[in-house]
Each structure stands twice: as C-alpha cells, then as structure tokens.
C-alpha cells in the first residue's frame, strides 16, 4: 500500500496511507504554505522581500527556490497592447521596488492622469484590458511560482475607488511555454494554454499575488508567455507594476556548433 510520510525536524508529523488524493493534496498545500512563510525575508522599507542580490521581490520566496531574474534574456522580453507613454516590457522585470509599494513620500507613483516619464514605473494595457508578455530565458528553467505586483490608482487612493475608467489588477491569466516568439492575441485564443489561473481579490497581499504553477508542466521552460485576459471588476484596462518568476535554473541553452563560412 502506498504510504507518504512527512518528517519535520527529524520527527514524523503526518502519514497518509492508501490512495487518498484529497488528504494528500491537503497535506502538500499545508507544507507549501509553511515553506512560503519561512522562505521570505523582510525587505528594507515598504512591502515585499529582498533577494540575495538586492532585487526587490513582492512576496515571500518559497523555501529552496530563487528568483529567475538573472536567467532572463532581457533583450527578448516583449509586451503587446501596452500604452507607449508609460513603462515598457523591461519595467516589469526591473529589480527595483515599484514606487507605488513604497511608503508615501518615498516614491509614491503618479496616477495615470499626471504620469510622467520620470515617475512612471508600471505598465498599463491600451485598447482593452488584455496584455501579452513574452519572456525568454538564457537556460531551461523550472518555474514554480509567478508573482505579479499591481497597485492601481483605486487601491492607492480611496478617492479614486469610484473611477470606472481606472486601470485595475489582473483577474485571469493564461500561461504558455516554449513558444519561439510572442503570441498574437488571435493565436493565443486558438492555442491550448499550459495553465489558466483565476485570481480573486483575497489572493492579493500588499499589492502582490503569488501564483503557483502546475509544477510538473513547467519543468523545462525556455520561454514563458503570460496572457492577461481579464481585469478585476470588469475594468477596461489592466495595470502591472512588476513580474517575478520563482523557480530553479537549469542547463544553458545549446547554441549549436559554430562553423566558419567558407569564402566562395
């Protein structure tokens, strides 16, 4: 009979015998929750935590996993349907703490109406609420978790909470792996996604939501496409301040054998 034994600090704390997927799932979720709480370290000022290289991370780092920011091919990060006068694709992977998450008076972000290039460090969708984000990696990575940070004006200032035209947080995202290029919106709709994740308002903690992947499906990832399909509250625009990918780095990509081209 299959038996799963959970040992903590040298002592058995849980035992699951037999084919009981419901109980086993509950045990694993409890362990993941505990690991997340232990793995995070407090940052200096504002919400979030700080990585080993000083990178700001919106949520706690799950135990035994690290940020994959160092594995990202920065030049190949792309975004579709974003407002050109705000931040760009590289804004999303910036290692700095978003201004909107900092204490008031220490970098509070401007609202959309008075945004300038010196204060804007977020991205908003343009013609509708959808955003397509493409991220390529230098190595084949394992993606355990995706952290999205979004602090729209409605949550920064209660006076803006009744503004129906204000950008809002993502509500639903679709994930695609190992596409050789950024997907078009029609192409994404016709292609089977690797995972769909629905986000509820209670999932957000201090402006960041931590979304665990179906880890088995994200073991060998060379590119990741994040397709935001809906915004919270039916908003017509979506805002993203930062994206953090958490997991494990793997082997570097094989660039192939380089051969000298012979002169004709």
Phi-psi region of 256 (alpha: psi -120 to 50; beta: other; left: phi over 0): left
pLDDT, mean over the chain: 83
- Model confidence band, residue 251 (pLDDT cutoffs 50, 70, 90): confident
Within a 10 A sphere around the Cβ of 118, how many other Cβ atoms? 7
pLDDT in tens, 60-85: 999 889 999 999 999 999 999 999 88
Task: Domain ranges for the chain, please list them.
Answer: 1-39, 43-248
Mean pLDDT, residues 118-136 taken together: 91
What pLDDT is recorded for position 108?
A: 45
What pLDDT is recorded for position 14?
A: 85
Full 3-state SS string of the chain: CCEEEEEECCEEEEEEECCCHHHHHHHHHHHHHHHHHHHCCECCCCCCEECCCCCEECCCCCCCCEECHHHECHHHCEEECECCCCCCHHHHCCCCCCHHHCCCCCCCCCCHHHCCCCCCCCEEECCCCCEEEEEEEEEEEEEEEEEEECCCHHHHCHHHCCCCCCCECEEEEEEEECCCCCCCHHHHHHCCCCEEEECCHHHCECCEEEEECCHHHHCCEEEEEEEEEEEHHHCCCEEECEEEEEEECCCECCCCCCCCCCCC
Residues whose CB falls within 8 Å of the CB of residue 232, separated by 6 or more in sequence, listed in order:
168, 169, 170, 171, 199, 201
What pLDDT is recorded for position 109?
A: 47
- Model confidence band, residue 230 (pLDDT cutoffs 50, 70, 90): very high
Nearest partner of 109 among 196, 259, 239, judged by Cα = 239
What pLDDT is recorded for position 158?
A: 46
pLDDT in tens, 149-164: 999 876 554 444 445 5
Residue 15 backbone dihedrals phi, psi, to 5 degrees? -140, 125
Share of the chain above pLDDT 70, in %: 79
| Domain 43-248 CATH (choose: 2.40.50.140, 2.60.120.470, 3.40.50.920, 3.40.190.10) | 2.60.120.470
pLDDT in tens, 180-228: 999 999 999 999 999 999 999 999 999 999 999 999 999 999 999 999 9
What pLDDT is recorded for position 114?
A: 43
Within a 10 A sphere around the Cβ of 251, how many other Cβ atoms? 9
pTM over 0.75: no
Mean pLDDT, residues 224-243 taken together: 97
Give the least confident one: 79-83, 138-142, 252-256.
252-256
pLDDT in tens, 24-66: 888 887 777 666 554 444 333 346 777 767 899 999 999 889 9
What pLDDT is recorded for position 43?
A: 38
- Model confidence band, residue 22 (pLDDT cutoffs 50, 70, 90): confident
In angstroms, the CA 67 to CA 245 distance is 6
């Amino acid at each position: 009979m299959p038996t799963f034994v959970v040992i903590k600090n040298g002592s058995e704390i849980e035992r699951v015998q037999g084919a009981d997927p419901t109980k086993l799932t509950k045990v694993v979720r409890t362990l993941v929750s505990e690991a997340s709480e232990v793995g995070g370290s407090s940052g200096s000022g504002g919400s979030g935590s700080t990585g080993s290289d000083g990178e700001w991370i919106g949520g706690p780092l799950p135990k035994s996993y690290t940020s994959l920011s160092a594995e990202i091919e920065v030049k190949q990060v792309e975004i579709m349907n974003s407002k050109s006068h705000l931040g760009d694709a590289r804004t999303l992977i910036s290692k700095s703490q978003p201004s909107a998450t900092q204490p008031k008076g220490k970098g509070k972000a401007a609202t959309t109406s008075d945004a300038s290039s010196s204060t804007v460090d977020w991205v908003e969708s343009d013609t509708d609420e959808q955003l397509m984000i493409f991220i390529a990696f230098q190595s084949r990575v394992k993606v355990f978790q995706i952290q999205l940070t979004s602090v729209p004006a409605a949550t920064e200032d209660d006076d803006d909470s009744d503004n129906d035209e204000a950008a809002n947080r993502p509500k639903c995202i679709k994930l695609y792996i190992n596409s050789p290029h950024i997907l078009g919106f029609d192409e994404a709709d016709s292609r089977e996604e690797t995972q769909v994740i629905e986000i509820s308002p209670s999932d957000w903690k201090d402006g960041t939501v931590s979304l665990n992947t179906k880890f088995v499906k994200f073991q060998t990832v060379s590119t990741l496409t994040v397709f935001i399909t809906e915004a919270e509250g039916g908003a017509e625009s979506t805002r993203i301040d930062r994206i953090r990918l958490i997991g494990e780095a793997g082997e570097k990509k094989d660039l192939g054998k380089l051969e000298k081209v012979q002169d004709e």
